[in-house]
Chain A
């Protein structure tokens, strides 16, 4: 049946909620507010926190630093967002970061001409290609062998660091290649290249997921796998794809990190970045149970984590204690997302209302059985 075509788009629309309420209901409202207050809080300690200077044609300042150091995390979180949207998780990204950095640096260090563009480009291709293979392995384990995502990616989380050290032979490989340095430490159009690269990849991901049907299909697989199967969504392909994307994002982040310090450290590069990424995704409003995802929220989440680290650093507290704050934030966010927690909270808030009902029941019972 074909419905008549003469009915135009639009039609009746319900009255919109008042502006302020719509604003607070927006999914990015709370992460954005949190980030803003974190940034403002910093002004109290560092008065020129918001100052951005131009020096040698480059922008400098705390805000720029946050963006630059946050860029790898943004990338890893980006891939993680898609994986989590399908009800999955990718624990292997930290190892992938290390492997990608190690591969690229090893390739450049052993090349005849480390500074040349072709060398750097082939290094990048190599790193990204191997990462894609890692993602493929994860994806096939999850989509074809039905291994739980947390278990499937655990394998590479364990083995990956060993592989990275195997590549670097346990050494920290230093490279001196100005072309490679560009990825994580260079500037372009006054901005750090890493920031631009991350922004570009975020934009591409947003564009591809939202302009093609990819985002909707991922959300439908994560939101209701059974119903998705019944409407003919090919879940296996999507699952493999998100794990590949996640690994590739991690690889680019790995290139950035190793390029920034001009060396590859198989042991420490990207250590615990998988946990930060999960945290960023959760703070950004994508639930660990899958479904709706928000790339914008994830970027905010990653920036929040980076700002938190920066703040703690400027406060003079040992930087490692960031972990404590992260733990508290992750617990708070998870509790707020937990239906059981909300149910408890609302029960506690309204004990008075339920009290008379209990009394009623008692009376009724007496009526029935005199």
Chain B
């Protein structure tokens, strides 16, 4: 069990400042981490990469004391640690800066840096000393802030820098940056990176979690790749190309899944593209979410969206449904200019969107299967035009049967269903509205293989009946099997829209993701 670190150990003589060995962590029903190891050396920026379910966030939680590991050990400077809570990890020199700035916007910058550790005189806070110390810290990091202003006076990017400054002042030996850049623009990222480099030069070990490939090659010295809860490997960044890195992250085990269904593509012949597209987006964008993109979606066409986690797949799709409002660009539906102000407006134009986040954005957990299925249709009709109970029962029974939802009890609370069956309930909800465009965001994630193939078949059938489908999945094989065209996203940008005829290969998609080349 105590086998890590990975095969390609860099030849370094100094001791790792943070070392995790053989970490195993199981949650009910899931083995999140299985024998994972990680080594961080002083003065390096180390990327932690992996796709959904790879175990990145669990590993971070183990390192920062949020979850105790079931097996394995964490040592700092060679001495074994068992963190009972995040504070203990902090005291041991491991500080974490999360994607969401975990500071108090109402307090001043100085207080955010030093709250809980304010210099005191006669038991009272010594404000001038506090401001002086904060200002010194900010100057040391070559930042230029007025420490007396409330934190909320500054942009999110600056708040992120303050969070890092606070972590550094806690005498952090290890700084974990958990997706700090996902909503920053280019200049802000540059600013953040220069701070990270300065810290690295001072000997801080930095663990950098990101979805942006460019940033990994730009900033990091080494990278640890996780896949499916296991350690895939530890590499020096100069050993890797973007293509090899993506391959390591995505792995090849997907191909075995592919064999379940027929190996040939199930997608039917592409529809005639001559007609006006059902939906056409031009320069559609939302700042911090997705860069301007163009996309045409025809009736009967399945458009796959491929990209790594966090590449902007979901964000791009949400704009098509009015779930988020676009800052720029325009939409035409059936050639007519429209502005989707809300999901309601999109539904009225017969667009449906199955969110990837079933629990938070899809299901109403307390309601029954029947109620969850009829909800979208009912919402569109308004409360005063109810579907009769008999009609609801009939609909629920029919869809329970058609999609084989189990238990086949429309009066069961939807929260008690398995993930696959919950997904089918959501599909039933939207199919009932008879959409012309169905957007499916990760409809097959976390569900069993039987349900997965059923959903794939359903997509193909819908398309052959004339529905336009946007299909988002982390599994490239799945996207390729179903789609007529594939949009490839990378770092919040739609870098290419490729025709899947002649059939694309996963390597081609991975290559596009890795290099961003439109070729």
Contact across chains for A369 and B366 when beta carbons are under 8 A apart = no
Contact across chains for A1 and B431 when beta carbons are under 8 A apart = yes
Contact across chains for B72 and A7 when beta carbons are under 8 A apart = no
Q: How many residues of B contact A (CB 8 A)?
A: 62
Q: A12-B408, A216-B367, A227-B363 are in contact. Are A3 and B402 (CB under 8 A)?
A: yes
Contact across chains for B375 and A216 when beta carbons are under 8 A apart = yes
The 0/1 profile, CB within 8 Å of B marked 1, for residues 197-231 of chain A is 00000000000000111101101100110111111
Q: A1-B467, A212-B384, A224-B365 are in contact. Are A229 and B342 (CB under 8 A)?
A: yes
* Interface residues of A, Cβ cutoff 8 Å to B: 1-5, 7-14, 211-214, 216-217, 219-220, 223-224, 226-234, 238, 291-292, 361, 364-365, 368-369
Contact across chains for A230 and B362 when beta carbons are under 8 A apart = yes
Known contacts A10-B397, A216-B378, A364-B71; 13 additional CB pairs below 8 A are A1-B462, A1-B465, A7-B397, A213-B384, A213-B386, A216-B371, A220-B367, A220-B379, A230-B323, A232-B344, A292-B366, A365-B73, A368-B71
- CB-CB < 8 A to B72: which residues of A? 368
- For B344, B380, B381, the residue with the greatest tally of chain A CB atoms inside 10 Å of its CB is B344
Q: What are 9 of the A-B contact pairs (CB < 8 Å)?
A: A3-B401, A9-B394, A212-B386, A217-B383, A219-B366, A220-B367, A220-B371, A228-B364, A291-B366
Q: Which secondary structure dominates chain A's binding surface?
A: loop
Contact across chains for A5 and B398 when beta carbons are under 8 A apart = yes
Q: A213-B386, A220-B375, A234-B344 are in contact. Are A11 and B401 (CB under 8 A)?
A: yes
**B461 an interface residue at 8 Å Cβ cutoff?**
yes
A234 to B401 Cα, complex, angstroms: 30
- CB-CB < 8 A to B381: which residues of A? 213
A281 to B264 Cα, complex, angstroms: 58
A224 to B365 Cα, complex, angstroms: 8
Q: Closest 7 A-B residue pairs measured CB to CB?
A: A3-B402, A232-B344, A9-B397, A232-B347, A213-B386, A231-B376, A223-B364
* Interface residues of B, Cβ cutoff 8 Å to A: 1-2, 21-22, 70-73, 80, 82, 321, 323, 342-344, 346-348, 353, 355, 360-367, 371, 374-376, 378-387, 393-394, 397-402, 407-409, 412, 429, 431, 434, 458, 461-462, 465, 467
- CB-CB < 8 A to A369: which residues of B? 73, 80
A5 to B398 Cα, complex, angstroms: 7
Contact across chains for A217 and B378 when beta carbons are under 8 A apart = yes
Contact across chains for A230 and B375 when beta carbons are under 8 A apart = no
A212 to B342 Cα, complex, angstroms: 24
A17 to B23 Cα, complex, angstroms: 42
- CB-CB < 8 A to A233: which residues of B? 375, 379
A369 to B79 Cα, complex, angstroms: 11
Contact across chains for A238 and B383 when beta carbons are under 8 A apart = yes
A82 to B402 Cα, complex, angstroms: 35
Q: A212-B386, A369-B73 are in contact. Are A232 and B380 (CB under 8 A)?
A: yes
CB distance from B384 to the nearest CB of A (A): 6
- CB-CB < 8 A to B387: which residues of A? 213
